[in-house]
Amino acid sequence: MKCFTMSKINFVSLGGCQENGKNLYVVEVDSKIFVLDCGIKFPTSELYGVDYILPDMTYLENNKKNIVGLFITHGHEASMGAVFDFVKRFPQVKVFASHFTLALIKDLLDSKNVKYNAEKMIEVNSRTNYKIGTTGVTVSFFNTAHNIPDSYGIIIHTVDGNIIYTSNFTFDQNQHQADYLSMFNTLVRASKEGVLALLPESLGALHEGTRGTIFEFKQRIENIFVQSNNRLIFTLFSDDLQRIQQIIDIAISFNRNIAVLGRKTQRTIDLGMKMGYLRVPEERLVNLKFIDEKNKNEDPNLVVLVTGERHEPYYMLQRMATKRDRLINISEKDNIIVLTQPYPGTEKMAARTLDMIFRVCTNVTTFTSDLLPESHANREELKMMINLLHPKYILPVAGEYRHQYACIQIANCVGFDVNNNLMIPDNGDIYTFTDGNFTGIHGSAAVGEIMNDGDAVGDVGSVVMRDRELLGESGVVLLYTNINPRTKKVITPLQVVCKGFGYIQIHPEFKETIVEEFNKVADKYLSQTRIDWSEFKSDIRNSVSRLIYKQADASPIIIPVLISTDPTHLIKPSIDMNANGKNSSKKVPAKKATTKKAQVKKEAKVEKKAEVKKEIKPKAPRKPRVTKEKTEVKKTVKKVVKKEESKA
């Protein structure tokens, strides 16, 4: 290794260390920032309503003038799912990715309605060498074997040695995905130049021994097809394109029709078919219609691929088992094949889903981890990568703490010193290398989790999550009434509405206790000259909360709704104003007082008229000729009369 000048290199993880997902790593060479991957993390079960989690990019925003580019390794959301947020924040920064990964990124940006400059999207391959001006730094890529096409590792060539980020990889040569000759040549060449630091993935560091091979997996799936004459339902993760392709290939060989459930997977498959990465005959793809009296989607020749992220395949199976799904309802004749190992935090949901399925259908096959081809490097493959590169320092990334620790133990087994050469990085710590030597952790970067709930990005904080947790555990109690602010009296009785709080259903008399507590607080505030509504509500919330906790040993969310209502101001006279703003309503003349003599004369006239009417028998009147014009005129006259009467 040749060192021409002294350089300062910083490494900081903004996400991806001591967690699964949200990969975002920063390598800073003499103030030039190289961003490696930009992914999201999926929430655990306690994060109610959160769709996904973004990394905090405050450190990058504070140094945005020094960002050279964003380099993406592959098309999984853990590595590229947050690119849309990056592009919005840094529209002038170039994004480097492979052909297929770049297509997935553009599709993601379009789906998020994020505008981007196509010239800033740079396509790379294993022959790409991106030189950074006169800094002497070059970025190159090497092909890796993973369960999605066009996966690459990244090499940053510096004067102090190479920094290699492997991302997700395996050395499983049965997968036929990587150009191993090119891969080994690149790694050997990088090793000869000298490797300052290796950033290996660690998610598979706990896996020992051999894994299930592609051949064994294919043979087991084919046996299921041979033994089944009815509908087959597979569960798959949407980002595992390799396994999706294998199931499709086997289904085609058995002349079966294929239906893919999952919008995201459908888009990815369409994209893969257009680009030639997936081979799916269009005549074999079936678009399912909604279930009705005529259509049941129960074709015995059908293969259904239920796809999604993390918990989504299990959730879809639950709907199918309870006959709430609009496309597929599981019957006792179906064959269910579960190829999705539960992620951390979804184990309970997976077990509950299997129990629900067995109540309807007993033809269920679950593939355990030792039967599924692994897409992350196991212990032996990590040893091979370390011995091949022989780096000076090893900082395992992309995994929980136990995975990173296992990777450190693997490196220790092949001769590396735990105290001097091996480190377990944590998000935010800035590791500094000066003149090719580690000089310690100097400072920290702002890190955190930006939770996304639908269109609300960053607005879902700890307070919101605590409220959702309380709603999920203890429910909510709504108290509302109308209060006259002028007379300072409660107009309507207090209404108590409970959602998720079942104590009142068992003890309905407890409502009266809540009303009494409310009246005590109301008497206190309504006796004052001025009502402080915020303090009024806060006092009600605290008093009722203490009462419920003391009586029911529960802590539901209390929401008081006090509606200020003054009945004297509710009815207002309607005044018709003309164009000049003056009152245009006609004055009604006052009635004159009538005397007794006038009243007698009036009554006499009425009696005479009545007598004349009785004596004279009028002839039958002729029916007038009614024309359309006359009827229309009558209608308009009636309308005008009604308007005048309403004005009067």
Structure tokens given for 279 = 């081979």
Average pLDDT, the chain: 83
Residues 166, 142: contact at Cβ < 8 Å? no
Structure tokens given for 251 = 């289904």
Kindly tell me if the per-residue pLDDT of 14 is higher than 90. yes
Element (H, E) at 308: strand 302-308
Q: Where are the domains positioned within the chain? A: 9-208+374-447, 214-366, 458-569
Residues 214, 412: contact at Cβ < 8 Å? no
Structure tokens given for 316 = 């879809």
Q: Which of 233, 241, 296, 235 is nearest to 266 (CA)?
A: 241
Give residue 73's identity as a one-letter amino acid code: T
Residues 494, 483: contact at Cβ < 8 Å? no
- Residues linked to residue 195 through DSSP beta bridges, in sequence order: 162
- The 10s digit of each residue's pLDDT in 456-476 is 444 454 555 455 555 656 788
Angle, alpha carbons 73-13-462 (nearest 5°): 110
- Report the CATH fold assignment for 214-366: Rossmann fold (3.40.50)
- The 10s digit of each residue's pLDDT in 403-462 is 999 999 999 999 898 888 999 999 999 999 999 999 999 999 999 888 776 544 444 545
Higher local confidence (pLDDT), 601 or 333? 333
Query: What does the alpha-carbon distance between residue 143 and residue 132 come to, in Å, rounded to a whole number?
Result: 22
Q: Which of 184, 71, 195, 182 is nearest to 130 (CA)?
A: 71
- The 10s digit of each residue's pLDDT in 248-297 is 999 999 999 999 998 888 888 888 888 888 888 888 888 888 888 788 88
The confidence score (pLDDT) of residue 533 equals 83
Q: Which residues, other chains included, contact 125 with Cβ-Cβ below 8 Å and sequence gap of 6+? A: 98, 99, 141
- The 10s digit of each residue's pLDDT in 128-137 is 899 987 778 9
Kindly tell me if the per-residue pLDDT of 58 is higher than 60. yes
Residues 565, 488: contact at Cβ < 8 Å? no
E strand residue ranges, 386-494? 393-394, 429-434, 437-444, 449-453, 456-460, 476-484, 489-490
HSE of 512 in the Cβ direction (CA atoms, 13 Å)? Answer: 3
Element (H, E) at 231: none
Structure tokens given for 76 = 């999984």
Query: What does the alpha-carbon distance between residue 387 and residue 100 come to, in Å, rounded to a whole number?
Result: 31
Q: Which of 555, 556, 517, 565 is nearest to 539 (CA)?
A: 517
Average pLDDT for 66-81: 94
Residues 40, 82: contact at Cβ < 8 Å? yes
Using CA atoms, how far residue 197 sits from 96, 141, 392, 438, in Å, is: 22, 16, 6, 10
How many residues are present in the chain?
A: 648
- The 10s digit of each residue's pLDDT in 301-324 is 999 999 988 788 998 999 999 998
Residue 402: strand, helix, or coil = helix
Q: How many CB atoms lie within 10 A of CB 421?
A: 18
Using CA atoms, how far residue 578 sits from 573, 582, 647, in Å, is: 16, 6, 13
The confidence score (pLDDT) of residue 585 equals 46
Kindly tell me if the per-residue pLDDT of 579 is higher than 70. no
- The 10s digit of each residue's pLDDT in 528-569 is 888 888 888 889 989 998 888 888 888 888 888 888 887 766
The confidence score (pLDDT) of residue 610 equals 53
Superfamily of domain 9-208+374-447, CATH level 4: Ribonuclease Z/Hydroxyacylglutathione hydrolase-like (3.60.15.10)
Q: Give the least confident one: 48-57, 110-119, 175-184, 315-324.
A: 175-184
Residues 547, 513: contact at Cβ < 8 Å? yes
The confidence score (pLDDT) of residue 456 equals 45
Handedness of CA 611, 616, 619, 625 (dihedral sign): negative
Q: Which residues, other chains included, contact 152 with Cβ-Cβ below 8 Å and sequence gap of 6+? A: 73, 74, 98, 124, 126, 141, 142, 143, 144, 167
Give residue 647's identity as a one-letter amino acid code: K
Higher local confidence (pLDDT), 42 or 318? 318
DSSP conformation class of 284: G
> May I ask the CATH class of domain 458-569?
alpha beta
Query: What does the alpha-carbon distance between residue 222 and residue 250 come to, in Å, rounded to a whole number?
Result: 7
Residues 373, 172: contact at Cβ < 8 Å? yes
Q: Which of 47, 105, 96 is nearest to 67 (CA)?
A: 96
Q: Which of 166, 245, 230 is nearest to 198 (CA)?
A: 166
- Residues linked to residue 359 through DSSP beta bridges, in sequence order: none
The confidence score (pLDDT) of residue 466 equals 58
Query: What does the alpha-carbon distance between residue 36 and residue 165 come to, in Å, rounded to a whole number?
Result: 8
Give residue 407's identity as a one-letter amino acid code: C
